Amino acid sequence: MSSLTPKQQRIAKERLVYGSGDSLFGHIEKLQGTRPFGSFLDAGTGLHSLRWIATLGGEYDEDGEKNMTDFTAVTADETMRRNVQREADELGISHLGRVVIGNWFPPDNDDRQSLLSIDNEIDSGETAAAAEGRATKLYDTILADYLIGAMAGFPPGHFSQDQMIEKLARRLKPGGRLYIVGLQPIPDVYDAKNPGAPQNIICKVRQVRDACILLAGDRCYREYPKDWIERQVDRLAAGTAAPRLKHIDSKEFPILYRHTTIVKQINVARHKLPRFPSRALANEMKKTLDDLEQQSYAATEKIQRGRRIELGFDYVVTAERVDFEDESSEN
């Protein structure tokens, strides 16, 4: 951060995401307590998570209480990698970590190459073969921020969600924490017996948005419910071989939809229209989206308090890697 000018520092601080202002990251900080974040792996990075990670170490950790020593931020998308790297540079935290391309489930199933940048720090001028010979890097803290839901957009990982948590657990140090952030899937309908229920419009928007994504030739994200995540953690907790996890905590965070929030999802659909198979189909879908925007406005106006519709929730599931000797010492 010292390389930034005072003006750059001020602008950077305005973009940071502090736990005190974000309910999910704030919950993670509360669970972490006085435990250092240490070496940090952001297993599916984005701008939002990076702006929070920046507050955990270096000069932004003004009280020195969070103690993140270094970070590795992973994405399978080159455009996202460039955007996150640029953000790390502008926040002045590039010296603390790396933003790398890594596919957790590569098309050729060769984890050694696709995950080399995650598992080993490759020094300047060093060959990949030399780095590959070193022991796999382990992390004190791993964040999976909506990662499992996003895997559906990156083949062949869209069929491997049930393997993801174990793959992350193998990269945790004994006693390290895994924080899994997800979105409870939005149902097809909230109340079939009451079509006028305001929650139904959110379900409809989700359906039409996903239809537009598919018609444009893209893949939809597929969110997984909290209890599915918990079952994956419990499976590793009940196993007899490493890695073993201990389920620490699960918490739900209700979602409140403003009209502007719903329109953002409608706009996702609108951006797909130019790539529809035919102009006529795109024009008809545009009418549907315009109607949905009007219906969503009417639905939020029905809510007298805050003009926000409550439906579903985000969640954080927390697990810790345990060794057999750790368990025996506790008994």
- Whether the pLDDT of residue 1 is over 90: the answer is no
User: Among all chains, which residue has been given the structure tokens 């297993």?
Assistant: 43
Compute CA 37 distance to the chain's CA centroid, rounded to the nearest angstrom. Answer: 18
pTM: 0.89
CB atoms within 10 A of CB 271: 11
State the burial class of residue 147 (Cβ atoms within 10 Å of its Cβ: 0-12, 13-18, 19+).
Answer: buried
User: pLDDT by residue (tens digit) across 261-274?
Assistant: 999 999 999 999 99
Reference 23, options 309, 256, 202, 305; nearest CA is 256
CB under 8 Å to 139, separation ≥6 — which residues? 38, 39, 40, 41, 72, 171, 172, 173, 176
How many angstroms separate the CA atoms of 331 and 329, rounded?
A: 6
Q: Would you say 201 and 296 are in contact if contact means Cβ atoms under 8 Å apart?
A: yes
Q: Would you say 162 and 232 are in contact if contact means Cβ atoms under 8 Å apart?
A: yes
User: pLDDT by residue (tens digit) across 156-206?
Assistant: 656 789 999 999 999 999 999 999 999 999 999 999 999 889 999 999 999
- What confidence category does residue 114 fall into, taking pLDDT thresholds of 50, 70 and 90? low
How many angstroms separate the CA atoms of 192 and 188, rounded?
A: 10
For the ranges 48-52, 124-128, 219-223, the maximum mean pLDDT occurs at: 48-52
Beta strands 172-183 and 309-321: pairing type?
antiparallel
Q: Would you say 263 and 307 are in contact if contact means Cβ atoms under 8 Å apart?
A: no
Give pairs for 108-113: CB < 8 Å, separation 24+: none
Q: Set out the domains of the chain in order of their start, with CATH numbers.
A: 1-120+136-184+223-255+312-323 (3.40.50.150), 186-220+259-307 (no CATH)
The DSSP secondary structure of 214-251, one letter per residue, reads: HHTTPPPP----HHHHHHHHHHHHS-SSSS-EEEEEEE
Alpha helices in the chain (DSSP H): 6-15, 23-32, 47-53, 78-91, 111-114, 116-119, 128-132, 147-150, 161-169, 199-215, 226-237, 259-270, 279-301, 324-330
Measure CA of the first residue to CA of the last residue in the chain; give whole Å. 45
- What confidence category does residue 330 fall into, taking pLDDT thresholds of 50, 70 and 90? very low
- What confidence category does residue 329 fall into, taking pLDDT thresholds of 50, 70 and 90? very low
- Mean pLDDT (the chain) is 89
**Per-residue model confidence (pLDDT) at position 102:** 85
**Per-residue model confidence (pLDDT) at position 130:** 55
User: pLDDT by residue (tens digit) across 54-89?
Assistant: 999 988 887 778 899 999 999 988 999 999 999 999
Extract the tokens encoding 180.
């899994």
